[in-house]
Amino acid sequence: MISSLFIAGTDTDVGKTVASKAILQAAAKRGLTTIGYKPVAAGCEKTDQGLRNSDALHLMKVATQELPYHDVNPYALELPASPNIAARHDNVVIDYQVISDKLAQLKSKADFVLVEGAGGWRVPVSDTDCLSTWVKHEQLPVVLIVGVKLGCLSHALLTAESIEADGLNIVGWIANRINPGTEHYAEIIEVLESRIKAPKLGEIPYVPSAKRSELGKYINLEPLLETEAVV
């Protein structure tokens, strides 16, 4: 199985964290030690312990390995905005070397490290660069999360094309039903299956928050288990 992967969304609020939790739960059931990593997170809340991001906290809760918060989320930004805007607001410069060094440390502590992105594939982290540049530098295999809703077909296909144009390998995709009332769901899935070359790892139905401890059952890890490990 690959030792690490990057979770990319077709947009913001498409269920990257829900899908990340599902993958981590499925990996843990396989007996793998796991870590969820959120290198950059905007929209963090002030707490007595410092800024905290809800997505990062969810990843920490479901991972098998306990770590200090700042190991999981080295760049916690306060403003609920694009990371480049939030970083400027906090007078922070996002340094790729910092998040690369942290990733290397995390890889040494678990069988499997899941890296969750922020926003969509081309989300800016500065006035001149995007987080995708770092993913490309690390050559991380990518799992694409499609939030199933009106308009998702174009977003999904454009994102997949962009990832592949960057020379990265999409090792799977997951459909996340963010709106239970979405019409033509089956037809949308059929188009995605025919147009995205990577295997579908699962379809996550609309799940109330109280039942999200059982998300792993919707994920098929076999394609990832068969993928050559990336060191």
Q: What is the 3-state secondary structure (H, E, C) of 12-33?
A: CCCCHHHHHHHHHHHHHHCCCC
Q: Which of 118, 105, 5 is nearest to 56 (CA)?
A: 118
The active-site residue out of 16, 38, 102, 149 is 38
3-state helix, strand, coil in the chain (%, to 5): 40, 20, 40
**Residues 159, 150: Cα–Cα separation, whole Å:** 16
- 38 noted as active-site residue: yes
Q: Is the dihedral of CA 116, 121, 126, 129 positive or negative?
A: positive
Active-site amino acid positions: 38
